[in-house]
């Protein structure tokens, strides 16, 4: 059973900051999908950072 905090949606601005800083605390809490390349990554992904306009959060 999931706790209430693990079921809460993360704010997109928090996800954006975690993605840009590759914050390990968010690893496993969300994924990013890049519209232009059709790839997805964890927030700690070492790949070059795509434009924010091309990102969808899951």
Rounded Cα–Cα distance for residues 13 and 26 (Å): 13
Instruction: Return the pLDDT at 31.
Output: 94
Quick one: which of 12, 9, 15 has its CA closest to 27? 15
Sheet holding 55-57, edge to edge: 39-41, 32-34, 55-57
- All structural domains of the chain: 9-57 (3.40.10.10)
Q: What is the pLDDT of residues 8-46, one digit of tens each?
A: 678 999 999 999 999 999 999 999 999 999 999 999 999
Residue for token digits 């990013």? 32
Residue 6 has pLDDT above 60, yes or no: no
pTM: 0.76
Q: How many CB atoms lie within 10 A of CB 26?
A: 18
């Amino acid at each position: 059973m999931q706790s209430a905090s693990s079921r809460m949606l993360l704010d997109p601005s928090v996800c954006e900051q975690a993605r840009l800083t590759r914050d390990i605390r968010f690893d496993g809490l969300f994924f990013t999908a890049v519209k232009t390349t059709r790839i997805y990554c964890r927030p700690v992904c070492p790949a070059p950072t795509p434009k924010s306009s091309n990102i969808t959060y899951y």
